[in-house]
Chains A and B, each alone.
Chain A
Amino acid sequence: MEEQEFTPKIVGFLCNWCAYTAADTAGVSRLQMPPSVMVVRVMCSGRVDPLFVLSAFLKGADGVLVAGCWPGQCHYQKGNLHARRRAAMLKSIFETLGLEMADRFRLSWVSASEAPRFAEVAKEFTEEVEQLGPTPIWDEVFL
């Protein structure tokens, strides 16, 4: 494998109220973050349909991140609690079918005031995905 580094393409579904604000603050504060997360702002992590995650992976994302408010702090009371169950279900599907997506999918809670945590999550997750390498289905023709 070449030594050339690859920048993972991670699709990040960030909830407007918490995670997106944190990411925005992190950017404004010039905190060090890899340029790997492609942000999709959603109003709530509960908006994330499992099909979004599947679609992102099947279109070639190296990783998918869903980030929202901490349980108990959801702007809409319970959206993130639904998101947690959906994430658990998706992981179960991926694991049972032996799909790498299990390791390339992450759910994180990041509150609006936790900009450094967002940067940390982005950095950590990027490193994990780098370790896994580019998605094996980037060129897959028979999907």
Chain B
Amino acid sequence: MPEGLKINKGAEEAVRELLRSLLESGRVNGVLALGRTGGSNGGVAYSLFTDPDAFRVDGTALPLLPFMPANAGGLLSRLTLREPLAGPVAAVVKPCELRAFIELVKRSQGSLDNLLLISSTCGGVYPLDVGANGDLKERPPGYWEAVKHGELDHDVRPTCRACVHFVPDNADITVALVGKEDLDTQCALFLNTEKGAKFVEGLEGTPLSDELETEPIQRSHSQRAAYREELFAGVEVGMQELIRTFGRCIGCHACKTVCPICYCSLCYFESQDCEYLPEIYETELERKGGLRVPPNTIFFQLGRLAHVSVSCVGCGMCTDVCPADIPVSTIFSKVGTSVQALFGYRPGKDVTEEIPLMTFEEEELTQVAT
């Protein structure tokens, strides 16, 4: 199995061409990728493409665009939830989206069957309001220049600039972008699995035996790790500080809706359990003299942390969607990192690795019980 393929085209062009030929030859039945919505705002959304022409130079598909209108891991779950795919479908997703999908597969919320997963070393994405303001350019100028040098455009989301997992796990094919100075003219595809190699058979290119993790990647990793530490250190800790941070939370639960890990059809905090009898309100009112309505602002956040922190992939959708500008993702990533370290767990790394709370060892964590 060749480790990789070097194609004499720019990365975007090569990826488009690969997907176009996969569709045209019928080797895949569909492709999930970003594409222009056709709206006057120049917006972009994920689409399930079946027309190969969408991937022509003048077509609507924009597979490598640095934007995340939804976590595609959740979309892959949506696609494969009821049944696994009967025939091959390709998907072009970011590393965190892929990791989220793996976590969902572990929870029986999707299937990897017949999916050709294409990802890339990731230079981050722009926040949602760039799209909302109509500022999303097809080829954001600063972005690719930064990526070529293993850096991040300063307008990319803070969550992305703090992400140290920007090299995909579990992709069948990885498109090398970060640190590739020649990405305008050359495309390096890393074929990580036999499936990946099979699907590029016939594609014109020379075999590649480079390392994926080059020096620019390592450098980017250190830079991002440093920023991550800074970002996490900036989280104000303590109950009073949490109350201040979430003071302006409006309880819209958008963070939960966009979170790929939060898949429950009926969230506990929206269920009957949280519809209180008047006596409950009145008892609390008697005691405290006052209480916030609707209640459970902090309970929702801590509860959601208890539910998802073990699998949080730090995709940042929560911060992006919050109407009150609360840095939810920073808090959730920070807690997620601690909880995951506790169990030596990396969400999305290995689909056979059990979710830490679903399993146990006979001898472990002896310091917890006293």
Contacts and interface: CB of A to CB of B under 8 A. Distances in A.
A85 B357 contact: yes
B243 A92 contact: no
B357 A86 contact: yes
Interface of A: 50-51, 54-55, 58-60, 71-72, 78, 81-82, 84-93, 95-100, 106-109, 136-143
A87 to B, nearest CB: 5
Contacts of B306: 50-51, 54, 89-90, 93
Interface stretch (B73-81, B122-130, B360-368): B360-368
A87 B368 CA distance: 7
B370 interface: yes
Given A96-B334, A99-B239, A136-B239, A54 B360 contact: no
A2 B108 CA distance: 55
A107 B368 contact: yes
Interface in B260-306: 268, 284, 287-292, 295-299, 302-303, 305-306
Contacts of B303: 50-51, 54
Interface string B336-364: 00110011000000000000110011111
A11 to B, nearest CB: 15
Contacts of B310: 89
B159 interface: no
Interface of B: 235, 237-243, 247, 268, 284, 287-292, 295-299, 302-303, 305-307, 309-310, 331, 334-335, 338-339, 342-343, 356-357, 360-365, 368-370
22 contacts: A50-B306, A55-B299, A58-B298, A58-B299, A85-B343, A87-B368, A88-B343, A88-B365, A89-B339, A92-B338, A93-B305, A95-B338, A96-B335, A96-B339, A97-B242, A99-B238, A106-B370, A137-B239, A138-B288, A139-B288, A142-B247, A143-B243
Given A54-B303, A78-B360, A98-B237, A88 B243 contact: no
A100 B241 CA distance: 12
Contacts of B241: 98
Nearest to B306: A50
B243 A85 contact: no
Given A96-B338, A139-B289, A143-B295, A89 B360 contact: no
A108 B369 contact: yes
A143 B339 contact: no
A58 B357 CA distance: 23
Given A71-B362, A97-B238, A107-B370, 9 more contacts: A55-B299, A81-B361, A81-B362, A84-B369, A87-B369, A97-B235, A100-B239, A136-B240, A142-B292
A91 B237 contact: no
B342 to A, nearest CB: 5
Nearest to A49: B306
B369 A140 contact: no
Contact of B368 (A54, A58, A84, A93): A84
A72 B235 CA distance: 40
A7 to B, nearest CB: 16
Contacts of A138: 287-288
A115 to B, nearest CB: 18
A48 to B, nearest CB: 12
Contacts of A72: 362
B288 A92 contact: no
Most buried by A among B268, B335, B360, B370: B360
Contact of B339 (A71, A81, A92, A106): A92
A69 to B, nearest CB: 11
Nearest to A51: B303
Nearest to A89: B339
B288 A141 contact: yes
B370 A108 contact: yes
Given A85-B343, A99-B238, A92 B335 contact: yes
B59 to A, nearest CB: 46
Most buried by B among A81, A82, A136: A81
A85 B339 CA distance: 10
B370 A93 contact: no
A81 B240 CA distance: 33
Contacts of A108: 369-370
Contacts of A59: 284
Nearest to A101: B239
Contacts of B268: 51
